[in-house]
Structure 1
Amino acid sequence: MCQFSAHPSRETLADYINIPNIYPAGRLDADSEGLLLLTDDGQLQHNISHPALKQPKTYLSQVEGIPDQAMLTRLRNGVDLGDFVTMPCRVSQVEAPDWLWPRDPPIRERHDKPTSWLTLTLTEGKNRQVRRMTAAVGLPTLRLVRLAIGQVSLQSHPLWPGESMEIDPSDLNTPVK
C-alpha cells in the first residue's frame, strides 16, 4: 500500500523503507505496481501530485482483448466515464515487455481471450482512471504498472519491486506554481 501507516491486511511502505519524514508523491491503487516517488519536501510533493500542475504519468497496461483503431482513438481523445470525461492522452499499443518482473499474484489468464499491452500517458490522475478508461472502450485492464512520472522512468532508472534509489529533484522537471 502506498502509505506509511499500518494497513489491516497488506504490507505498506513502512515494511520496506525506514527513512523518517518522507511521504509518497502520488499514490498507486492496491492492484497497481510500479514507480512511486517519495520525498521529504512538501512543495515538491505538491508539484508532483497536484492535478492542476499536469505532471505526466505513463502507465503500462496489460488489457484483455486486442485494440482496434477506434478503441485507441477513443482513449486518445478522452473517454466519458459517466462522472467525468477524461482529458486527451497519449496511447500506443506495444509489444509485451521482456524486462517486467513477474506479477504476484499472477493475473488471471483465459486461454480463449488474448491480451495485449498499451502505454498511456496522462496529465490527470483520477481514482482508477486507466482501469476505468480501458474498460469503457472494451479492454479491461488485467495488470497496471506505472512506468514514469515526468522525466523519471523505470526504463531510465530500472528498479525491481521493493528497491529504491535517490534521484536529484531537478530530474523531475516539475513546474513551480
Structure 2
Amino acid sequence: METHRHFIIHKPFGYLSQFVSNQGKQKNKNFLGSLYDFPEGIMSVGRLDEDSEGLLLLTTDGKVSELVRSREVEKEYYVQVDGDITGEAIALLQKGVDISIYGKPYKTLPCQACRLDPVPDVEPRAKKIRDERHGPTSWVAITITEGKFRQVRKMTAAVGFPTLRLIRVRIGGIRLEDLGAAQVVEVKDFNLL
C-alpha cells in the first residue's frame, strides 16, 4: 500500500501555487518548491493565486484534492476590502452574487459573510497594500463551499468593495492558526470534515 504524505503551508504573497515553471514567461516567479524539500508527486490542493496568501494543503494523494474541491468542505477567507463595507453589501454576498468565470455569467452559491470587527490580527504583508490617505478599508470573513477562479475577489468587487488583501484561514477542519508566512508543517492526515 502506497504511503501518502501531507503538508500544511502558509503560502506567502507573491508565490505561485505550483512547484516549477511549466511556461517560459514564469522564470522570474516564486514557486512553492523553493520553500521546502517536498517529496516527488506533491500537488497543491485548492490553489491560491499569486496575490493571495494563507492556508494551502499539499499532498501526494489525489483523492484529497477531489474532496477539497467538493461542496462538502468549507473554505474560509479573511478579506481586506477597499472602503467601509456596508451591511447591505454583506447581505448581498450571503445571498450570492453574479460574477463572470472565464467570460461566462455565474451566480455564486449562498455563503457565510460577516464584517470582522475588531480587525483580525494578521502578519503585515511584505508588500504594503496602500497608504491610509487613499481612504478607509475594512475586513470581512467569507466562507464558501465552492472555489471558482478568483471567486472571492470577484464577489467583493461585485458588491462594490474590491479586495485589497485575501488570506485563506481555514479549509474544512484545518486552520491556519499561528503558522507564519512560508512556514511548512508535515501532518499525518487532513481532518477536512
TM-score, length-scaled by structure 1: 0.89
Aligned to 2:43: 23
Task: Specify which of 84, 87, 107 is matched with residue 69 of structure 1.
Answer: 87
Structure 2, gaps ≥5 residues long:
1-15
Instruction: Flag the 1:32–1:106 CA change in 2: closer, same or farther, 3 A.
Output: same
Aligned equivalents of 1:96 and 1:85: distance in 2? 29
Q: Does 1:150 align with 2:172?
A: yes
Q: Does 1:3 align with 2:18?
A: yes
Report the RMSD for the aligned CA atoms in angstroms: 1.4
Task: Specify which of 139, 148, 169 is matched with residue 117 of structure 1.
Answer: 139
Aligned equivalents of 2:72 and 2:156: distance in 1? 21
Aligned equivalents of 1:163 and 1:119: distance in 2? 23
Number of matched pairs: 168
Aligned equivalents of 2:129 and 2:190: distance in 1? 36
**2:174–2:190: 8 Å Cα contact kept in structure 1?**
no
Aligned equivalents of 1:25 and 1:89: distance in 2? 21
Aligned to 2:7: none
The equivalences for 1:75-154 within 5 A come to: 75-82=93-100, 83-94=105-116, 95-98=118-121, 100-154=122-176
Moved over 6 A (4+): none
SS of the equivalent of 2:123 reads coil
How far did residue 106 of structure 1 move? 1.1
Aligned equivalents of 1:151 and 1:108: distance in 2? 33
SS of the equivalent of 1:35 reads strand
Structure 1, gaps ≥5 residues long:
none
Aligned equivalents of 2:136 and 2:44: distance in 1? 35
Aligned-pair identity in percent equals 41
TM-score, length-scaled by structure 2: 0.82
